[in-house]
Amino acid sequence: MIAARPRSQWFRPAKTVLSYLWLMRAHASVASAAAVLVAAILLGCPADSTPVILAALVVALITGAGNTLNDYYDYEIDRLNKPGRAIPSGAVSLRAALRFAWTLFAGGIVAALFLNPIAVAIAACNSFLLILYARKSKQWGLAKNLAVAYLVGSVFLFTSAAVGKSNLLVVTLSVCSFLATLSREIVKDIEDLEGDRVLHSKTLPLTIGPKKSHIVAFTVLAGSVMLAVLPFALGMMGVPALVLIGAGALIFWYAYALKSASTAHKYIMVGSLVELGAFLLAGR
């Protein structure tokens, strides 16, 4: 008679899978893939078409790879700032995390090979930038924030390349995403100020101070809102979409008034999603 396996053993594989999903920040990968679908809708492409599905897969895998590699190189600083993450908590070893990152990068590039050469070039360049970012970004200063902002905004441009179409709505959304992400990254650096100081990182708050960085972050965010109104001025966006942009702007203003950087950057994300909804409404 074969003895029954202890219940704890049955849950080990599931726990391992969850740890890796946690490491790659699966929610961020899914959000990146969703951005591809948004761009496809604005471009008038079926969400279930092969180029769109492949583009979403490429973006999700490369995003997950970048997040994993970043946590690998940020192990020491995360022990101070975010000890609950997968690697510092012991859920995933450093060696296993590195192998997982390279596997995700490889999967993303292979999937991109089934698209056109421009899409492959963007996927490869973004992967290279993510690797550089993970290894060197703590000494980049503001360039670190610019790199992340570019990577987020480039998702919409990558989708355009993948499907071979482009329009003003997608280009505007790409630039707005760049600016909103730049603002959020600066605010996150304000949140991580103490840990970054210990490791002598050259972030903007450590260079010019948290108060001035706060002003820079929300000036950039205001620019994102003003640019988002451009499609309305050109007759490509109706009043309902403009109302959503106004709602997003109010959320950004509330974030600006908050004293907690950790809470403020979450509200910037919420406001960004509301403004994304405005572009979706305009594209219908």
Do residue 151 and residue 173 come from a single domain? no
The pTM assigned to this predicted structure is 0.85
Do residue 174 and residue 94 come from a single domain? no
Do residue 176 and residue 162 come from a single domain? no
Q: Tell me, letter by letter, the H, E, C secondary structure of 124-163.
A: HHHHHHHHHHHHHHHHCCHHHHHHHHHHHHHHHHHHHHHH
**pLDDT value of residue 2:** 47
Q: Which of 120, 139, 166 lies at the terminal end of a domain, its last residue?
A: 166
How many alpha carbons fall within 13 Å on the CB side of residue 117?
Answer: 0
**pLDDT value of residue 191:** 82
Q: How far apart are CA 95 and CA 151, in angstroms?
A: 26
Do residue 75 and residue 174 come from a single domain? no
Decide: 158 and 170 in contact? Cβ < 8 Å: no
**Domain housing 41:** 20-166
Amino acid at 168: L
Do residue 190 and residue 282 come from a single domain? yes
Per-residue pLDDT of the chain (284 residues; tens, 9 = 90+): 444 455 444 445 656 778 878 888 888 899 999 999 999 999 999 988 999 999 999 999 999 999 999 888 877 777 766 777 777 777 778 888 889 999 999 999 999 999 999 999 999 999 999 999 988 877 788 888 999 999 999 999 999 999 999 899 999 999 999 999 999 999 888 887 777 776 667 788 888 888 898 899 999 999 999 999 998 888 888 899 999 999 999 999 998 888 787 788 888 889 999 999 999 888 66
Do residue 275 and residue 179 come from a single domain? yes
In the block, residue with structure tokens 């995390």: 97
Decide: 149 and 173 in contact? Cβ < 8 Å: no
Q: Could you tell me if residue 64 is inside a domain? A: yes
Phi, psi of 275 (to 5 degrees): -70, -30
Do residue 179 and residue 245 come from a single domain? yes
Do residue 221 and residue 152 come from a single domain? no
**pLDDT value of residue 8:** 47
Do residue 161 and residue 172 come from a single domain? no
Using alpha carbons, list the distances in angstroms from residue 150 to 61, 185, 205. Answer: 17, 12, 20
Q: Which of 146, 166, 186 lies at the terminal end of a domain, its last residue?
A: 166
* Structural domains counted in the chain: 2
Q: How far apart are CA 181 and CA 216, in angstroms?
A: 13
Q: Which of 166, 192, 214 lies at the terminal end of a domain, its last residue?
A: 166
Do residue 155 and residue 72 come from a single domain? yes
Amino acid at 131: I
